[in-house]
Amino acid sequence: MLDIKFVRNNPDTVKENIKKKFQDDKLPLVDEVLQLDQQNRDIKQEVEALRADRNKISKQIGACMAQGKKEEAEELKKKVQENADRIEALSSEEKQVEERIKKIMMTIPNIIDSSVPIGKDDSENVEIQKYGEPAIPEFEIPYHTEIMENFNGIDLESAGKVAGNGFYYLMGDIARLHSAVITYARDFMINRGFTYCIPPFMIRSNVVTGVMSFAEMDAMMYKIEGEDLYLIGTSEHSMIGKFIDTMLNENQLPQTLTSYSPCFRKEKGAHGIEERGVYRIHQFEKQEMIVVCKPEESKVWYDKLWQNTVDLFRSLDVPVRTLECCSGDLADLKVKSCDVEAWSPRQKKYFEVGSCSNLGDAQARRLGIRVKGTDGSKYFAHTLNNTVVAPPRMLIAFLENNLQEDGSVRIPEVLQPYMGGMTKIEKK
């Protein structure tokens, strides 16, 4: 969410940013919010003048009473009551105006970084760099659920009976592999200096609206019936929410946390054949990382975060690439974002396995996450987040890239301690 003062002083910049994001339908909102802002300031000014007048009249009433001028005092009391009634009416109007201003400001997109490529949608995202050599084996690689079934490792049919489409049972060595990847990712991030955390898996509505746009909320979140609670779609939500309405001392920054959680998503809309199995599901587990830092440090942390994911995948012998998200593919709160994509030797192309985002002070402004500088100044923190690993998609990349011709799956050396020393898993 932008600062209303910034919008007031830079309306053309805000409008140009909206155009860059191909959201021209939001352009009228800028003029509307400026009009409301002026109205709000006029109301405050009138209320302030009325209160000053009331105080002045109150002193005059005291003087009149002391001089025995009761009739004059009664007339002044009527004037005080008129002022009070007007203040009450203006205060009610002020509340309505401020609510409308807040609603609009929650809709106007954040100012994107100057380095973000301009494009309408994800088809115009830009490849930055590849890491590792993508290989295509001479033997045919089955679909990921077929690989798992060869190890008696997945049961979609039973999950469908129990919970419906978009759920799964992982079994045996595949379930163990899933947990091994999560645990390895946890230790990987701890070794990089991040504090491990297991957060709440449900959050209140004020946290939801603090961390994402209304459109994202509707598309993703499951609401608990009868409660002001939502199931998290990613632990980033509750991790950033941890700092709601806090004043951090500058020497407490940066806050670097890595968290484990299950995640729950509606995943609305139809999806193609390549998104069957465990690619796009309603429930999965994930290791996440978040940073709360000083504004001048957020660009450095952004590069560190996506590099962590690249390094983790490369340690597991999975080729990846980074993809810069274009303006039209950025969520409204984001300043800059990139996807990490893993190589699929079966599809002979890359697919998304993680996303890194710098949100500037947008989330901090919504949630009231402020910092007190050593010089006594106060400002909003910057927040960032990135996927360490989400095993369902990670398992697809892992299985395809480590599948052997005999049907076994090689276990990279770094993962072997988490698999009880196993060097490979074999067909049942």
CA distance 229 to 106: 20
CB 345 within 8 A of CB 400: yes
Place of tokens 């939502």: 230
**pLDDT tens across 35-85, in order?**
999 999 999 999 999 888 888 888 888 888 778 887 787 788 888 888 888
CA distance 102 to 106: 6
Residue 46 in marked binding region: no
To the question of whether residue 358 is assigned a binding role by annotation, the answer is no
Task: Please compute the mean of the pLDDT values over residues 118-138 and round it to a whole number.
Answer: 95
Distance CA 147, CA 149 (A): 5
Among 280, 281, 301, smallest CA distance to 289 is for 301
pLDDT bracket for residue 272 (50, 70, 90) = low
> Which whole-number Å values give the CA distances from 327 to 23, 119, 126, 143, 359, in the listed order?
10, 6, 11, 33, 14
> What would the pLDDT profile of 340-362 be if each residue is shown by its tens digit?
999 999 999 999 999 999 999 99
- 354 has binding-site annotation: yes
User: Is 256 annotated as a binding-site member?
Assistant: no
- CATH, range 4-107: 1.10.287.40
Write down the pLDDT at residue 50.
Answer: 87
Q: Would you say 330 and 337 are in contact if contact means Cβ atoms under 8 Å apart? A: yes
Per-chain mean pLDDT for the chain? 93
Residue 370 has pLDDT above 90, yes or no: yes
Residue 234 assigned to a binding site: yes
Structure confidence at residue 195 as a pLDDT band (50, 70, 90): very high
Per-residue confidence band for 280, with pLDDT thresholds at 50, 70 and 90? confident
Q: What does the pLDDT read at residue 270?
A: 46
Residue 379 C-beta-side C-alpha neighbours within 13 Å: 17
Q: What pLDDT, in 10s, does the model give residues 291-308? A: 999 999 999 999 999 999
32 is known to lie in a ligand binding site = no
* CATH entry 3.30.460.80 includes domain 122-425: no
355 is in an annotated binding site: yes
Check the annotation: does 80 bind a ligand.
no
pLDDT in tens, 135-172: 999 999 999 999 999 999 999 999 999 999 889 999 99
Show the beta-strand stretches assigned E in 245-381.
246-249, 255-264, 283-293, 320-324, 336-344, 349-358, 369-372, 378-380
pLDDT at 269 over 60: no
pTM of the complete model beyond 0.95: no
Domain ranges of the chain: 4-107, 122-425
280 is annotated as contributing to ligand binding: no
Task: Give the lowest-confidence range in 57-61, 263-267, 272-276, 348-352.
Answer: 272-276
Q: Please tell me whether 267 is known to bind a ligand.
A: yes
